[in-house]
Amino acid sequence: MKATEFLSRSQVTRDVQSFLRGKSKDAVGRRLSHFLSTHPEILYVEWKNGNRQDTHGSVKPDLNRAAKPYLLKARSAAKKGVSYSSPTFSYNGKSYFVMSQRKPLPSADQSIIAIVSTEVIQAVERHQRRNMRLVPYPSEGRYRIESAIPGTGEETTVRSGEDNGNASHYSIDEIVVKFRAPLEEKQLLQLRKDLDLTVVRHTGKTYVFRSKKHQTEGLKQYFLNKWDPEFVEPHYLYLTNVRENDMDMDTSIIPNDTLYSEYQWNLPEIATETGWKVTKGSEDVIVAVLDTGVQADHPDLIGRLVEGTNIVDPSSPPDDDVGHGTHVAGIIAASVNNNEGVAGMTWLTKIMPVKVLDSSGAGSTYSVAEGIIWATNHGAQIINMSLGNYAEAEFLHDALKYAHERGVVLVAASGNDNTDRPGFPAAYAEVLAVSATDSDETRAEYSNYGDYIDVAAPGTSIPSTYPGSRYAALSGTSMASPHVAALASLVRAANPGLTNEEVMELLRRTAKDLGTSGQDAEYGFGQIDVRSALQSASGSNTSLQLYPQQVRRQLERLKVK
């Protein structure tokens, strides 16, 4: 809720500033009227430019009285030429805030004062209470890098490609140590106990350690004081010195979407920014979102949708009357680098909205099965299912087999009950089952787990698109699953020749191992790693990770023949 409030305030502030900067031949009254029609959360505005003023919208007298002390402060701020944003206040069970913004030019005397509804916060609360099963329902990265000034170790901040010229980069939770002799097993066990370490790499006497509790500087001092190593140093990154196609000297691609840098921890965490150096996706790849529908005219989703269907009510379009489906779609495909809202994981991938859940957020297994078959027959290469329960259904399984046999990559959320009970459709063999992680790479406390989990992905406080052309932060394995579906779409863009089984295996094999070494019940094979997966898919030397599986399949085919 707090993150959603931040998102709401940031986006409204940006849009009001954009309005004040705008140039149009239309009369101010007409512009204000259009502005309110496209921003339903803004209930009332006062516009002033010198001696000219206008008001648009209306609020009930009681709400106006509740807002009055904040309106007075906003007007005072506008006169002084400064911005103002009130605390959130409540009226009749709903929440609001008052804001004022002045045109950001010293010579201008133009300002807007507004009463803004933050009803989206209550909507998110209702959604999360259901999604996290806090109320009965239905009702009957790790890619953490620090920058330092070369030769000194003093921290610095890299804000642009130019800054990279005077910075080195290292993983903040890793250390490289060369000992006087290779470590014995009991010494390794002691290190794991003392520092919660895992061995990332090991060559001879040199080890790369990663710690969940300690960062580089603390690890460095420990080894210098306790072990007398030949050397100890940060785990630096070396960058390729190549310039071709879309490659430049930056280590990553940082989008300009207004909410990205401050709120979207999830994409850097799984190395998406560096993965985009390999591919940004393809317009030929379609991900079907089987959910509550999608807001087709959301400004961050315009142009990203293909024809979908409404299984619940075939006479209506697959519009979203809950919010869940629009949020899932934005994680995959919100427009990137458009100076608007959030960034999706893919720049070009298309979304096929398939509404299989009704206005309560529930739907039958039969509806889901019908949606799977429809999406498969209409060209979806990946199907995301941020839904599920604990009952097996033969028809649903038949539909999954139908899609799988036709080359579709199937991805599903494991569930939000913190249980190892297998949830379906995630637990079916044809489906990639996804658990959720927090920003510290631990399994989210709500996430289901079990031996059927394939991979994990970020799922906590994920910002994305929301109905009403707004943005919200939601948590759940429902948010983790579309990260995996989006990565599958990027892999298929990088290497269209891979089968669905090979895509699934690649995502498992390139995942960052977390928790117990190897596959485990909490993370499966680990948290997805966009850079590693796309490097493998595109044919770089890391594709050796996939080679044994390809050879094995070829041998099995020959054996069958």
Q: Are residue 221 and residue 282 in the same domain, yes or no?
A: no
What is the model's pLDDT at position 253?
84
Give the pLDDT mean for 56-80: 92
Most confident of 103-112, 128-137, 437-446: 437-446
What is the model's pLDDT at position 150?
43
Q: Are residue 269 and residue 219 in the same domain, yes or no?
A: no
**Catalytic site positions:** 291, 324, 478
- pLDDT grade, residue 54 (50/70/90)? confident
Q: Are residue 216 and residue 291 in the same domain, yes or no?
A: no
Q: For the segment 369-420, what is each residue's pLDDT rounded down to a tens digit?
A: 999 999 999 999 999 999 988 878 888 899 999 999 999 999 999 998 898 9
Element (H, E) at 462: strand 462-466
The Cα 407–Cα 286 span in angstroms is 13
The Cα 274–Cα 282 span in angstroms is 17
Residue 26 lies in a domain: yes
Nearest to 478 by CA among 162, 218, 191, 131: 131
Residue 528 lies in a domain: yes
Residue 451 pLDDT > 80:
yes
Q: Are residue 1 and residue 67 in the same domain, yes or no?
A: yes
Q: Are residue 86 and residue 212 in the same domain, yes or no?
A: no
- pLDDT grade, residue 260 (50/70/90)? very high
Q: Are residue 449 and residue 543 in the same domain, yes or no?
A: yes
Q: For the segment 166-199, what is each residue's pLDDT rounded down to a tens digit?
A: 444 566 777 888 899 988 888 888 888 888 888 8
CATH number of the domain encompassing residue 10: 3.30.450
Q: Are residue 104 and residue 188 in the same domain, yes or no?
A: no
Q: Are 509 and 549 in contact, with CB atoms under 8 Å apart? A: yes
Q: Domain boundary at 79, 97, 122, which?
A: 122
Residue 155 lies in a domain: no
- pLDDT grade, residue 161 (50/70/90)? very low
The Cα 44–Cα 29 span in angstroms is 13
What is the model's pLDDT at position 431?
98
Q: Are 327 and 290 in contact, with CB atoms under 8 Å apart? A: no
Task: State how far Cα 544 lies from the chain centre.
Answer: 28
What is the model's pLDDT at position 144?
45
> Which residues touch 234 (CB under 8 Å, ≥6 apart)?
148, 153, 170, 171, 174, 175, 176, 216, 220
Give the pLDDT mean for 60-81: 92
- pLDDT grade, residue 50 (50/70/90)? confident
Q: Are 115 and 98 in contact, with CB atoms under 8 Å apart? A: yes
Residue 297 lies in a domain: yes
Q: Are 168 and 229 in contact, with CB atoms under 8 Å apart? A: no
| CA distances in angstroms from 530 to 95, 180, 428, listed in the order given | 39, 36, 24
pTM above threshold 0.75: no
> Which residues touch 228 (CB under 8 Å, ≥6 apart)?
180
**One-letter amino acid identity for 78?**
A
Q: For the segment 475-520, what is each residue's pLDDT rounded down to a tens digit?
A: 999 999 999 999 999 999 999 999 999 999 999 999 999 999 999 9
Q: Are residue 217 and residue 270 in the same domain, yes or no?
A: no
Residue-averaged pLDDT of the chain: 84
Number of domains in the chain: 3
Q: Are residue 221 and residue 292 in the same domain, yes or no?
A: no
Residue 417 lies in a domain: yes
| CA distances in angstroms from 203 to 103, 120, 182, 191, 227, listed in the order given | 60, 53, 9, 17, 18
What is the model's pLDDT at position 316?
95
Q: Domain boundary at 122, 143, 165, which?
A: 122
Residue 140 lies in a domain: no
364: exposed, middle or buried (C-beta count within 10 Å: 0-12, 13-18, 19+)?
A: middle
Q: Domain boundary at 107, 122, 137, which?
A: 122
Q: Are residue 478 and residue 545 in the same domain, yes or no?
A: yes
Q: Find the domain containing 537 and state its range.
A: 265-558
Q: Are residue 370 and residue 228 in the same domain, yes or no?
A: no
Q: Are residue 289 and residue 358 in the same domain, yes or no?
A: yes
End-to-end CA separation in angstroms for the chain: 58
Between 128 and 555, name the one with better pLDDT. 128
Residue 40 lies in a domain: yes
Residue 148 lies in a domain: no
CATH number of the domain encompassing residue 303: 3.40.50.200
